[in-house]
Amino acid sequence: MKVMVCLKQVPHQDARLDVNADGTWIQEDNIKFEINSYDTYAVEEALRLKDAGDAEVVVVSIGPDRVTAALRTALGMGADRAVHVNDAAAQGADALGIAKILAAVAKEEGADVIFAGLMAEDDNASAIPPMVAELLGFPSATGVLATDFSADTVTVERELEGGALEVVELPKPCLIAIQSGANQVRYASLKGIMQAKKKPVDVKTLADLGLAESASAAQNKTTVNKVYVPAKGDTAEILSGSTDEVVGQLVTKIKELGLL
Amino acid sequence: MGTILVVAEIQKGAIRDASYELVAAARGIEGAEVNGLVIGSGVGDLASEFASKGAGKTLVVDDPAAANYNVDVWSKAIKAAAEASGADLILISNTPTGWDVAPRIAAGLDCAFVSDAIRVAGGDGGYNLVRRIFNGKLDAEVSTSGKTVASMQPGAGTAYEGSSDGGTEALSTDLSAIAKFVEIKIAASTGVDLTKADVIVSGGRGVGDPEKFPEIIQPLADALGGAMGASRPVVDAGWLDHPYQVGSSGQIVAPKLYIAAGISGAIQHLVGMKASNFIVAINKDPDAPIFEVADVGIVADLFDIVPALSEAVKAAKG
């Protein structure tokens, strides 16, 4: 079984976020990047399938040279191969453009199951995975906390609100967008990292995928015009002073609430 | 502006407030005609209600196949309704239903898509929307060209409270599905019921270490006679079990006092606690979104403040 995992490399969760010079994204120079946390759960879910049987796990990412580090990490965790779509024309492509690229890779790979994270920590969009499924004509499920594979189908549990779960059965081929917390993600072992250096990373351009005219940023139907720090609304009364002074003020407030 | 199709969502036998928030958003767009869509089985009365409470002319896909949510059924029904209404904007709530189906509609129609928007307005040949990025730390203004599918953040706007003319119209279309609904499971109760606590002290990623919860967070909760909670990243990392999670996918709480320590305030957490009577936020980052919902904020290291507060509370009780 061929299992594909879609990976996005995003700014590290503790990275400093400064708006860039033209005000349309953040300043990416000199900040740390990491695999989108949701996607790490997707990689883990795929590796568990591999551990259980005969799955080949291919990780796919789109982005500039720095993305290689994310792919190497996933290979170090145990993925078999990587595909890196590295093409300046794809930089800034909207969700549908990225979905078209991922769908083309999935077709080329003949993926039976596609895993992705529910959303990305940077743009918080949760847009791409169901788009990929639609483009391929695959059934899909999002926000998945548990998977149970049989020969021809996957039964998944989707997280709804208030602790409810929706159980859905998807025939293969299918796409599953994993919710964070679905599993305990393994770390890349030292041995894994050493082995990863020998694993293949196929670098592709949009032209290689036959998408030069259809999936580049020039085709965007959605454009980010401006990124900014939100105006503060009714913000909190900020207590200031030494620790003792601040704590004293808080205790007074708690007394006023009748809780002391 | 053209026609806006507002997709209703039914929860516990009623149309959700979030659906009326979509109606208000659609009605706020100058010159637009608003149409509704209700999908389900035996939903004729709900569709009439939606039509008269703001959605205007409402299409109804009323079919046993739609008795439970199914991604393929919804995808086909919404695409058919988009065509029937000639809508150039399709609005859906960014709920587990919305994020499951909305991107599929956009890909199927090969049109623009914007998710989790907090505002929407007419634009030049499309729509202009505002959405939160980086877990609420930044906002983005996004414009679309041509037909647009947008999901809106529940609670970002207020629900429409006016009335409207417009009857319902049955829409029948192919609803065959590949995905198969099996059942809804309710997670077993575990005895941690934060909804009954008068005081909740929650820790976030800023607590940094699972051992710090019993050492630092729980003692303050105990001193105040309250309960300990946590944000999603803490539970995802396995530091605390899911029942401690406050947020849209955990427990929705409204205690008399909520203390958030080391929690930046991602929307999914805010949804779960912003109705609290009094909110105290303790965070090193002065720009953390949590300060926007807090009544009182302390920009400091929680490891300085929380233990000192525990001692001061104990001392105050005598």
| The predicted structure's pLDDT at residue B250 | 86
Instruction: Please list every residue in chain A whose beta carbon sits closer than 8 Å to the beta carbon of residue B98.
Output: none
Length of chain B: 318
Instruction: Give yes or no for a contact between B87 and B5, defined as CB atoms under 8 angstroms apart.
Output: yes
Contact B87, B146 (CB under 8 A): no
What pLDDT is recorded for position A44?
98
Which region, left, alpha or beta, applies to residue B316 given φ > 0 means left and ψ of -120 to 50 means alpha?
A: alpha
* Ranges of chain A with pLDDT below 50: none
- Which residues of chain B lie closer than 8 angstroms to A246, CB-CB? 298, 300, 305
Check residue B86 and give its pLDDT: 97
CA–CA distance from B194 to each of B189, B256, B259, B266 (Å)?
12, 12, 13, 19
pLDDT of residue B268: 87
Whether residue B277 and residue A257 make contact (CB cut-off 8 A), yes or no, is yes
Q: What percent of chain B is helix, strand and coil (3-state, nearest 5)?
A: 35, 30, 35
Nearest Cα of chain B lies from the Cα of A164 at a distance, in angstroms, of 4
Mutate to test the interface with B, among A19, A37, A98, A160 (most CBs of B within 10 A): A160
| pLDDT at A187 (0 to 100) | 93
What's the pLDDT score for residue B274? 92
pLDDT for B192 equals 75
Give the angle subtended at the CA of A233 by the CAs of A230 and A238, to the nearest 5°. Answer: 105
Which residues share a beta bridge with A19? A26
Nearest CA in chain A to B267: A124
Distances A172 to A12, A41, A102, A154, B178 between C-alpha atoms, Å: 34, 20, 18, 7, 10
* Six token digits for residue A196: 């990863």
Cβ neighbours of A95 (radius 10 Å): 26
Inter-chain Cβ pairs, chain A and chain B, closer than 8 A: 259
What domains lie within chain A, and their CATH numbers? 2-219 (3.40.50.620)
- Rounded to whole angstroms, the Cα distance separating A244 from B220 reads 16
pLDDT at B287: 87
The DSSP code sequence of chain A is -EEEEEE-EEE-TT----B-TTSSSB--TT--EEE-HHHHHHHHHHHHHHHHSS-EEEEEEESSTTHHHHHHHHHHHT-SEEEEE--GGGTT--HHHHHHHHHHHHHHHT-SEEEEES--TTT----HHHHHHHHHT--EEEEEEEEEE-SSEEEEEEE-STTEEEEEEEESSEEEEEPTTSS-PPPPPHHHHHHHTTS-EEEE-TTTTT-TTTSSGGG-SEEEEEEEPPPP-SPPEEP-S-HHHHHHHHHHHHHHTT--
Contact (Cβ atoms closer than 8 angstroms) between residue A31 and residue A57: no
The closest of B13, B3, B12 to B36, measured between CA atoms, is B3
Instruction: State the pairing for strand pair B148-152/B89-93.
Output: parallel
Q: A165–B187: do the CB atoms touch at under 8 Å?
A: yes
At residue B47, the pLDDT reads 98
H or E, element range at B10: strand B10-11
The β-bridge relationship of strands B112-122 and B127-133 is antiparallel
Chain B residues with CB inside 8 Å of A223's CB?
Answer: 142-145
- For chain B (318 residues), the mean pLDDT of every run of 10, in chain order, is 94 96 97 96 98 98 97 98 98 98 98 97 96 93 98 95 95 97 83 88 96 97 96 93 89 95 93 94 93 95 97 92
* Identity of the residue in A164, A169, A250 whose CB atom sits nearest the CB atom of B280: A250
All residues at 6 or more sequence positions from B81 whose CB lies less than 8 Å from its CB, including other chains: B5, B7, B37, B59, B61, B87, B171
Instruction: Report the pLDDT value the prediction gives residue A82, as an integer from 0 to 100.
Output: 98
Cβ neighbours of A236 in B, within 8 Å: 279, 281, 291-292, 294-297
Pairing of strands B10-11, B14-15: antiparallel
The pLDDT value recorded for residue B191 is: 67
Provide the token pair at A99. 């979905």
Question: What's the confidence (pLDDT) of residue B242?
Answer: 86
Q: What is the pLDDT of residue B193?
A: 83
Contacts of B189 (CB under 8 A, 6+ apart): none
Q: Which residue of B has its CA nearest to A96?
A: B107
Angle between helices B71-85 and B96-109 (to 10 degrees): 50
User: What is the set of domains in chain B, with CATH numbers?
Assistant: 3-170 (3.40.50.620), 194-317 (3.40.50.1220)
Q: Do A159 and B96 touch (CB under 8 A)?
A: yes
In single-letter form, the type of residue at position A256 comes to E
Tokens found for residue A214: 């259809």
